[in-house]
Structure 1
Amino acid sequence: MGTVSLADTWVYALRLPHDPRAARVARMTVRSVLIGHGRHEVLDAVELLVSEMVTNAYRHTNGPASLRLTALSDGRLRVGVWDTCSYIPAPFDQPPGVRVPPAPADALGGRGLFLVQEYADCWGGWRLGDGLLDRGAGKLLWFEVGGRRAWAREAAA
């Protein structure tokens, strides 16, 4: 009888208070989890994007946020950030493959989420709740790394 190996799948979730230190806590958690699972190849990109998304959750809401890391069986890593604001910013509001232009040089913001297009393989966002009674349900923004872009870089090397 043969032994069956399960794919290296796992999930971590972290609830973050509305606190200016939340992005740092999220970065430290991401670093610890990914190093612990040997996912060094995606560490820098995930740490950067999580920092941006959690910072935006703090800056644009008055409530808590949540971070969820999910290792998928095919080697991809899905990262989701929930917050209490229902507005979905670009590029998360665009269909897959649509590129958002970079922010103008004199803009005060808009550069961080542009990074998602550069470092993630895919991304998206959902409003949670769709009626007047659902105000405050917020949104979930997500991205994945370790997919086609990572494989393309390895093949080119």
Structure 2
Amino acid sequence: MLLVHGMWDLIDTAELLASELVTNAYRHSSGSYSLRLRGAGRNRVRVGVWDSNPEIPAPFGGGVMEESCVLAERGRGLQLVRECAESWGAYPIRGGLPGQGGKVLWVECTVPPTRDRAGQYQAV
């Protein structure tokens, strides 16, 4: 999708963000999960992952991430997501049939602006 829309500069970041969110869903939910990638405006993409676990993790608003978590061998993925994404968030999914609840974690990233020869940023 990103190649088709000329967003080559977002491929690595979007791939990293998607990988971290899907890994989080795999590790912390016992049910289904899914990935969605969509445009979110000019030169912007939103990566969203739904999973069946309703608990929203600390970096996304579910509490405060402790320093020991940042230094641990595991548990740094969502902090990495926050550092690489332009914006992020989460929302619970309630109701519906069994297995249809849970949450969605989403992140957005933007094509970085380019600089002209004088070092000024130009709109992409």
TM-score in terms of structure 2 length: 0.76
Question: Does the Cα contact within 8 Å between 2:93 and 2:102 map onto a contact in 1?
Answer: yes
Q: Which has the higher contact order (CA 8 A, sep 6+)?
A: 2
Note the C-alpha offset of 1:82. 0.2
Question: What stretches of structure 1 of length at least 5 have no aligned partner?
Answer: 1-32
Which residue of structure 2 aligns with residue 117 of structure 1? Answer: 82
Q: Name 1:145's counterpart in structure 2.
A: 109
Pairing 1:7-156 to 2, within 5 Å after superposition:
33-93=1-61, 103-105=69-71, 107-129=72-94, 137-146=101-110, 150-151=112-113, 154=115, 155=121
Give, as a single letter, the amino acid of the residue that structure 2 aligns with 1:54: V
- Cα deviation digits, residues 55-95 of structure 1 (max 9, x gap): 1111111111111111133221111100000011122116x
CA contact (8 A) 1:85 1:136 kept: no
Q: Tell me, yes or no, if the aligned pair for 1:78 and 1:145 is still in contact at 8 Å.
A: yes
Q: Which amino acid aligns with 1:138?
A: G
Describe the shift of the 1:41–1:100 C-alpha distance in structure 2 as closer, same or farther (beyond 3 A): farther
User: What TM-score, normalized by structure 1, do the two folds share?
Assistant: 0.62
Counterpart-to-counterpart distance in 2, 1:61 and 1:92: 16
Distance 1:46 1:101 in 2: 26
* More strand as a share of residues: 2
Structure 2, gaps ≥5 residues long: 116-120
Supply the distance in 2 between the matched residues of 1:44 and 1:104 (Cα, whole angstroms): 23
Tell me the number of residue pairs that the alignment of Structure 1 and Structure 2 aligns: 115
Q: Identity across aligned pairs (percent)? A: 44
Give the structure with the larger helix fraction: 1
Offset at residue 121 of structure 1 (A): 0.4
Distance in 2, matches of 1:91 and 1:63, equals 22
**C-alpha contact (below 8 Å) 1:83/1:139 kept by paired residues:** yes
Give the C-alpha shift of residue 136 in structure 1.
Answer: 5.5
